[in-house]
Amino acid sequence: MDYFKNLLQLLKTERDDDREAYLKLTQSTSVTDRRAAGITWYPIAIRSSEPSRGDYLTVELERTTHKDIAHQFRFGAPAVLFSNHNAGTDRVEGTIAYQGGDRLKITLFTEELPDWSRDGKLGVELLFDNNSYDEMQEALKQADAIIEKTEGKLVRVLTEQAEATFLPDVIKLPNNKLNPSQSAAVQQILAANELAIVHGPPGTGKTTTIVQAIKSLIKQNGKQVLVVAPSNTAVDLLSEKLAAEGLNVLRIGNPAGVSEKLNGLTLDSKMATHQYMKDAKQLKKQAAGFKNMAHQYKRSFGKRERDQRKALFDEAHRIMKEVAKIEQFVIDDLAEKAQVITATLVGCNHYTVRDKKYHTVVIDEAGQALEPACWIPILKAEKLIMAGDHFQLPPTIKSETAARNGLSTTLLEKCAITHTTAVTLLEEQYRMNEAIMGFSSAEFYGNRLIANASVAKRLLFEGDTPMSFVDAAGCGFDEKPEGTSSINPDEAAFLFKHLDNLAGQIAASSIPFPSIAIISPYKSQVRLLQELFEASPLVEHKANISINTIDSFQGQERDVVYISMVRSNNEGTIGFLSDTRRMNVAMTRARKKLVIIGDSATITRLPFYADMLKYAEDIGGYKSAWEYMN
């Protein structure tokens, strides 16, 4: 079918561009650059090793320096152990089996550590992730293959070949934890035969709703539910909340946050306490002993030694086959008993649970999920629940061509448009003052949002203005290009002047210093804002003030949010700002006060910003920067 042929083509474009960028980064740069880019740990120390499945070796490594550098290592990713002695040849590939803090375990595709691992400095580097692309490609091909068959009902619904259907009467389950629109969403989920969508604008309690829905589903039919999300952080949040509701949760993969509670839900942790694993541990010890004895034989030896060495290795292999059988039994047992299995989109195809099928699959944060990745869990389901908000940030796509040609349109967005009967909008939000919420509600959510009474009138201090647009038009705050980004030094300096003024008012009203986010769509502006902050008297409030890009604040909230718009030019060029979804995310992070600083003459050529300015005027929140200049 053309639907999947088109997706396969887009995925190929994305893969090619992604691979090209990876090769450019790895082939022509030094280990220092690669370490800074977050794809290499160097130097590292080997802390321990043990035999693993399939005659492989699992090695625990620790990075010994540069621990403050952010990295991209994650469970399931392909990587390579290398020596700087001869980096071209001294390397052995494997898969990340665990990552936490400054340690990771890598399962190497070898039986024993190579001799070179004992001399020279060692490092570990991420390889290009062909595996994830292969999984996505395979899922699209499988979906295409079953679309006409009986088992392809869900595929037909999702590709607009069939309507979503609902049971006429589902027993209403009373739930005091939910408001009316959240309850309606849960009812819709219980009644759906193939598809239900929870559209959760910022602050509307989407996670709470999903957790209660999963609980109700299990009550309804007693069947296991698979819960997936594009990021480890989102999977962790749901895993923890579901476990807190008393459900038996099995987390496949390892959590991004290493909290005790979360670790207790992982497969590794549950296996460690399983009654049959004592035997496996003993056997592993024996196998390691035989391998160590085999290693006593040096390279120059005769036939007798060679036979002896081979016999020891054979015995170790035989024992490890026994271990694999026990482990598989334990995995199957744990997976069978779990009520909910949680993983990332690709992680749900991990070898431990690869062939499992589920009655219901839940995809959370579906507005940030790449469609080809969604088909991996969908193929395991009879019924699909998607939750998210397609008016917030879309998935990250490496290829501009693929994004432009449709890869940036998510399955959530497509289905929300074509299957309107399957969608429930959560209408009550618990985060923002109603003045902060109002513009977003009008532009994106058909004016349907209401602020819960507990937050509707909440202010930073009495008499404060909750939402204001400070207009820098005519102040001569001109933007300057910086590489592929833009900066506006005068606007940045003005922002701190404004914030300084606010800090004075806060002190005078003797309230505790609030949490503040300073955000901008431009990385260069963020860097400049960070420098100015470090040099300003406000630095004494460092614990309360965070400065970063809009994208890094998705899912977070603060008492006060400042947005630096940057763009100020005669042509009315606004670049990044034309993605209004990014602006929606920025504006909806604030609980009590939102301050937007920008040049109206530049940005209002886009109707969205003209509306925003009018909205600020209507609620008495429009100010000119001139008012603050003296």
CA 230, 238, 212: angle at the middle one, nearest 5? Answer: 125
**Residue 274 to residue 95: CA distance in whole angstroms:** 25
Q: What is the DSSP string of 107-142?
A: EESSSS--GGGGSS-EEEEEPP-HHHHHHHHHHHHH
Q: What's the CA gap between 258 and 569, in Å, rounded? A: 46
**Residue at token pair 């490594």:** 61
CA 568 → CA 491, 606, 615, distances in Å? Answer: 10, 14, 21
10 Cβ contact list (under 8 Å, min separation 6): 372, 402, 405, 406, 407
What pLDDT, on a 0 to 100 scale, did the predictor assign at position 299? Answer: 59
- Spatial CB neighbours of 332, under 8 Å, sequence gap ≥ 6: none
How far apart are alpha carbons 127 and 107 in whole angstroms?
A: 14
577: alpha, beta or left? (left if phi > 0; alpha if psi -120 to 50)? alpha
For residue 536, give both structure tokens: 């300003």
Q: Does domain 430-628 have CATH number 1.10.10.350?
A: no
Q: Give pLDDT, residue 349.
A: 95
The residue ranges of the chain whose pLDDT is under 70 are 258, 298-301, 630
| 293: Cβ contacts below 8 Å, ≥ 6 apart | 312
Q: State pLDDT tens for residues 132-184.
A: 999 999 999 999 999 999 999 999 999 999 999 999 887 777 777 899 999 99
> Looking at residue 401, what is its pLDDT?
97
Per-residue model confidence (pLDDT) at position 523: 94
64, with CB counted inside 10 A (0-12, 13-18, 19+), is middle
Residue whose structure tokens are 């740069």: 29
Residues 126/72, Cβ–Cβ less than 8 Å: yes
Residues 6 or more apart whose Cβ sits within 8 Å of residue 138: none
Q: What are phi and psi of 251, to 5 degrees?
A: -95, 115
132-248+343-426: CATH number: 3.40.50.300
Q: What is the DSSP letter of 577?
A: G
Write the burial class of residue 60 (CB in 10 Å: 0-12 exposed, 13-18 middle, 19+ buried).
middle
Label the pairing between strands 428-429 and 450-451: parallel
Domain at 38-128: CATH code: 2.40.30.270
Sequential DSSP letters for 379-428: TTEEEEEEEE-TTS-----S-HHHIIIIITS-HHHHHHHH-GGGEEE--E
pLDDT at 203: 96
User: Among positive and negative, which fits the CA dihedral 547, 550, 553, 559?
Assistant: positive
Residue spans of the domains in the chain: they are 38-128, 132-248+343-426, 272-335, 430-628
* Confidence (pTM): 0.93
Q: Do residues 62 and 101 make contact, with C-beta atoms less than 8 angstroms apart? A: no
Look at residue 300 in the predicted model and tell me its pLDDT.
Answer: 58
Token pair of 220 as six digits? 């309804």
The CA–CA distances, whole Å, from 515 to 78, 432, 492 equal 39, 14, 19
Kindly give the interhelix angle for 434-444 and 607-618, rounded to the nearest 10 degrees. Answer: 150
Q: Do 132-248+343-426 and 430-628 come out as alike in CATH topology?
A: yes
Give residue 591's pLDDT.
Answer: 98
Q: Tokens 């909806």 sit at which residue?
A: 588
What phi-psi label fits residue 160: left (phi over 0), alpha (psi between -120 and 50 degrees) or beta?
left
Residues 48, 74: Cα–Cα separation, whole Å? 19
Crossing angle (nearest 10°) for helices 434-444 and 580-587? 160
Overall size of the chain counted in residues: 630
Q: Are 625 and 597 in contact (CB under 8 A)?
A: yes
Please choose, from the candidates 583, 518, 590, 525, the residue with its C-alpha nearest in 3D space to the C-alpha of residue 547.
518
pLDDT at 35: 94
